[in-house]
Amino acid sequence: MRRSRSRPNRNRLFPLLLAATTVPVAATLAPAATAQEPVEQISNGDFAGGLQPWWHTENAPASVSDGRLCAEVTGGTVNPWDAIVGQNDITLLDGESYQLSFTASASVPVTISTNVQLAAEPYTAVLSERVALGTEATEFSYNFTSDLATDGGQVAFQVGGGEQPWTFCLDEVSLRGGEAPDPHEPDTGPRVRVNQVGYLPSGPKHANLVTDAAQPVAWRLADAGGTVVAEGTSSPQGLDPTSGQSTHHIDFTAFTGEGNGFTLTADGETSYPFDIREGIYTDLRTDALAFFYHQRSGIEIEAEYVGAEYARPAGHLQVPPNQGDVEVPCQPGVCDYTLDVSGGWYDAGDHGKYVVNGGISAAQVLSVYERALHTDGGDPAKLGDGSLAVPERGNGVPDVLDEARWQVEFLLSMQVPAGEELAGMAHHKVHDANWTGLPLLPHEDPELRELHPASTAATLNLAAVGAQCARLFAEYDPAFAARCLEAAQTAWDAAKANPAIYADPEDGVGGGAYSDDDVTDEFYWAAAELFLTTGENRYWTEVSSSPHHGTEVFTDGGFGWGSVAALGMLNLATVPSELSTDQLAFVRDAVVRGAQRYAATADAEAYGLPYAPYEYQYVWGSNSQVLNNMVVLATAHDLTGRAEFAEAVLTGWDYLLGRNPLNQSYVTGYGEYDAHNQHHRFWANQSDPSLPNPPAGSLAGGPNTGLQDPVAAEQLAGCAPAMCYIDDIESWSTNEVTINWNAPLAWMASFAEDLAGTGPPPQPESSCTVSYRVGNEWPGGFVAEVEVTNTGEEPVQGWSLTWDYPGDQRVGNAWNARVSQSGSTVTARSESWNGTLAPGASVTFGLQGTFGSANPAPGEFALNGNTCA
Ligand code: 9MR
Digit-coded pLDDT (tens) for 402-431:
999 999 999 999 999 999 999 999 999 999
Q: What is the pLDDT of residue 765?
A: 64
- Please pick, among 727, 728, 730, 754, the residue that the annotation labels catalytic: 727
What is the pTM (predicted TM-score) of this model? 0.78
Q: What is the pLDDT of residue 159?
A: 98
Classify strands 198-199 and 274-276 as parallel, antiparallel or unpaired. parallel
Q: What is the pLDDT of residue 53?
A: 82
Q: Are 110 and 95 in contact (CB under 8 A)?
A: no
CB atoms inside a 10 Å sphere around CB 331: 14
Q: Would you give the distance in Å from CA 396 to the centre of its chain? A: 32
Residue 656: closest CA among 613, 703, 615: 703
pLDDT surpasses 80 at 31: no
Q: What is the pLDDT of residue 146?
A: 96
CATH homologous superfamily, domain 192-276: Immunoglobulins (2.60.40.10)
Q: What is the pLDDT of residue 838?
A: 87
Of the pLDDT bands very low, low, confident and very high (cuts 50, 70, 90), residue 120 is confident
Angle formed by the axes of helices 565-574 and 456-473, to 10°? 20
The whole-angstrom separation of Cα 358 and Cα 738 is 10
Domain boundaries, the chain: 55-177, 192-276, 282-756, 768-867
Q: Whose CA is nearest to atom 8 of ligand 1?
A: 512
Q: Whose CA is nearest to atom 5 of ligand 1?
A: 620
Distance (angstroms) between ligand 1 centre and the Cα of 508 equals 10
pLDDT surpasses 90 at 174: yes
- Please pick, among 316, 428, 549, 679, the residue that the annotation labels catalytic: 679
Question: Which atom of ligand 1 sits closest to the CA of residue 740?
Answer: 1
SS3 state of residue 368: helix
Question: Which atom of ligand 1 sits closest to the CA of residue 738?
Answer: 20
CB atoms inside a 10 Å sphere around CB 288: 27
Q: Whose CA is nearest to atom 14 of ligand 1?
A: 512
* Residue 769: its H or E element: strand 768-778
Q: Which residues line ligand 1 (CB under 6 A)?
A: 347-348, 350, 352, 512-513, 620-621, 732, 736, 738
Distance (angstroms) between ligand 1 centre and the Cα of 45 equals 22
Of the pLDDT bands very low, low, confident and very high (cuts 50, 70, 90), residue 864 is confident
pLDDT surpasses 80 at 107: yes
Q: What is the pLDDT of residue 8?
A: 33
Q: What is the signed CA dihedral for 816, 822, 826, 827, rounded to 10 degrees?
A: -60
Query: What is the residue type of 487?
Result: A
283 in catalytic set: no
SS3 state of residue 613: coil
**Residue in 514, 623, 707, 711 to alter for ligand 1 test, most ligand atoms within 8 A of Cβ:** 514
Query: What is the residue type of 512?
Result: G
Of the pLDDT bands very low, low, confident and very high (cuts 50, 70, 90), residue 36 is low
Q: What is the pLDDT of residue 758?
A: 65
Digit-coded pLDDT (tens) for 355-398:
999 999 999 999 999 999 999 888 899 999 999 999 999 999 99
Phi/psi for 294 (5° steps) reads -55, -35
Query: What is the residue type of 531?
Result: F
Q: CB burial class (10 A; 0-12, 13-18, 19+) of residue 259?
A: middle
Q: Residues 106-113: what's their mean pLDDT? A: 97
The whole-angstrom separation of Cα 18 and Cα 117 is 11
Query: What is the residue type of 198?
Result: G
pLDDT surpasses 60 at 740: yes
Q: Do the two domains 192-276 and 768-867 of this chain adopt the same fold?
A: yes
The whole-angstrom separation of Cα 328 and Cα 444 is 17
DSSP 453: P
* 55-177 CATH: 2.60.120.260
As its CATH architecture, domain 768-867 has Sandwich (2.60)
Digit-coded pLDDT (tens) for 788-837:
999 988 888 778 899 999 889 999 999 999 998 888 889 998 887 888 88
Residue 678: closest CA among 716, 724, 727: 727
DSSP 834: S
Query: What is the residue type of 720?
Result: A
Residue 675: closest CA among 699, 711, 703, 704: 699
Q: Whose CA is nearest to atom 4 of ligand 1?
A: 620
Q: What is the pLDDT of residue 796?
A: 82
Q: Are 652 and 610 in contact (CB under 8 A)?
A: yes
Q: What residues does 812 pair with on adjacent strands? A: none
Q: What is the pLDDT of residue 668?
A: 98
The whole-angstrom separation of Cα 87 and Cα 711 is 13
The whole-angstrom separation of Cα 629 and Cα 597 is 10
What's the CATH class of domain 282-756?
Answer: mainly alpha
DSSP 312: B
Q: CB burial class (10 A; 0-12, 13-18, 19+) of residue 454?
A: buried
Name which of 67-81, 206-220, 477-491, 746-760 the model is least confident about: 746-760
- CA angle 361/365/370 to nearest 5° reads 135
Q: What is the pLDDT of residue 89?
A: 86
The whole-angstrom separation of Cα 95 and Cα 514 is 47
pLDDT surpasses 60 at 269: yes
Name which of 23-27, 82-86, 341-345 the model is least confident about: 23-27
* Residue 501: its H or E element: none
Q: What is the pLDDT of residue 764?
A: 53
Residue 316: closest CA among 342, 291, 353: 342
**Residue in 295, 347, 680 to alter for ligand 1 test, most ligand atoms within 8 A of Cβ:** 347
- Please pick, among 89, 151, 171, 350, the residue that the annotation labels catalytic: 350
Of the pLDDT bands very low, low, confident and very high (cuts 50, 70, 90), residue 13 is very low
Spell out the residues 6+ positions from residue 240 whose beta carbon is closer than 8 angstroms to its own: 246, 247, 605, 606, 607, 661
Q: Residues 204-228: what's their mean pLDDT? A: 97
Cis-peptide into 858, omega within 30 deg: no
Distance (angstroms) between ligand 1 centre and the Cα of 221 equals 41
Q: What is the pLDDT of residue 833?
A: 84
Q: What is the pLDDT of residue 784?
A: 96
Digit-coded pLDDT (tens) for 543-555:
999 999 988 899 9
pLDDT surpasses 70 at 35: no
727 in catalytic set: yes
Q: What residues does 206 pair with on adjacent strands? A: 251
Q: What is the mean pLDDT of the chain?
A: 92
pLDDT surpasses 60 at 14: no
- Please pick, among 399, 674, 736, 754, the residue that the annotation labels catalytic: 736
Q: What is the pLDDT of residue 550?
A: 81
pLDDT surpasses 70 at 26: no
Q: Are 430 and 328 in contact (CB under 8 A)?
A: yes
350 in catalytic set: yes
Question: Which atom of ligand 1 sits closest to the CA of residue 732?
Answer: 21
251 in catalytic set: no
Q: Whose CA is nearest to atom 3 of ligand 1?
A: 620
pLDDT surpasses 80 at 60: yes
DSSP 392: T
Digit-coded pLDDT (tens) for 272-290:
999 999 999 999 999 999 9
Q: Distance between the two ends of the chain, CA-based, in angstroms?
A: 48
